Structure 1
Amino acid sequence: MPGPSAPRRTVLKGAALAGTAGLAAAACSTESKLGHAETPTPTAPVDLGAADAVPVGGARLYREERLVVSCPAEGEYKAFSAQCTHAGCLLEKLEGTVGDCPCHGSKFDVTTGKALRGPATVPLPAVPVTAKGGKLIAGPQG
Structure 2
Amino acid sequence: MTYPSARRTVLATGAAALLTGCSNYDDNNDSGSSQEASSPGSSKAGASAGGEELARTTDIPVGGGKIFKDQKIVVTQPGKGEFKAFSAVCTHAGCTVGSVSDGTINCPCHGSKYRIADASVAHGPATRPLPAEKITVEGNSIRQA
1:21-78 CA-partner distances (Å, limit 9, x unpaired): xxxxx8xx6553xxxx34668xx83311211101223222222221111113333211
Where does the alignment leave 5 or more consecutive residues of structure 2 unmatched?
Answer: 1-17, 30-49
Check conservation: 1:62, 1:68, Cα contact below 8 A. Answer: yes
Matched residues, number: 106
Matched, 1:84 2:90: yes
2:61 to 55, 63, 79: 55
Return closer, same or farther for 1:74/1:117 CA change in 2, 3 Å cut-off: closer
1:127 to 94, 110, 133: 133
CA distance in structure 2 between the aligned counterparts of 1:45 and 1:55, rounded to whole angstroms: 22
**CA distance in structure 2 between the aligned counterparts of 1:57 and 1:67, rounded to whole angstroms:** 17
Q: Share of identical aligned residues, percent? A: 36
- Larger RCO, structure (CA 8 Å, separation 6 or more): 2
* TM-score computed with the length of structure 2 as normaliser: 0.62
Candidates 67, 71, 74, aligned match of 1:68: 74
Distance 1:101 1:72 in 2: 18
Q: CA RMSD in A?
A: 2.3
Matching residue of 1:22:
none
Q: Give the Cα separation in 1 of the matches to 2:100 and 2:73.
A: 12
What CA distance in whole angstroms lies between the structure 2 residues aligned with 1:83 and 1:48?
A: 17
Pair 1:120–1:128, CA change in 2 (3 A): same
**Equivalent in the alignment of 1:116:** 122
